[in-house]
Amino acid sequence: MKLGKVLGKVWATVKDDKLNNCTFYIMQPIDEEENPLGMPLVAVDTVSSREGDVVYWVGGAEATFAFSNRQIPSDVTIVGLVDRLDLEKNK
């Protein structure tokens, strides 16, 4: 899993039926100091995140297991909202 910052929402009306009721966000992967890591990604959201939120996300096969009753054809899924980061150097 990695950290990310939600940049905004992505709307897609025509999509695979298995993605119905999923919300998409564009998200920039970041490190612990909020420096960007690589390209922004489009992620399926499971935690009702909003623009500007720091989140953590899972990629790869595990991204498809976010819903208990069905598998979704996603490769990046947001699985948690970060309230606070306690970093080593701040102590």
Q: How far is C-alpha 45 from the chain's CA centre?
A: 6
- Within residues 25-64, the interface with another protein by CB under 8 A covers 30-32, 37, 46-48, 56, 58-64
- Based on CB atoms, which residue is closest to another protein, 7 or 53? 53
Shorter beta-carbon distance to another protein: residue 13 or 21? 21
| Distance separating alpha carbons of residues 91 and 84, to the nearest angstrom | 14
25 class by beta-carbon count within 10 Å (0-12 exposed, 13-18 middle, 19+ buried): buried
Q: Which residues bind another protein (CB under 8 A)?
A: 1-3, 30-32, 37, 46-48, 56, 58-66, 68, 77, 79-88, 91
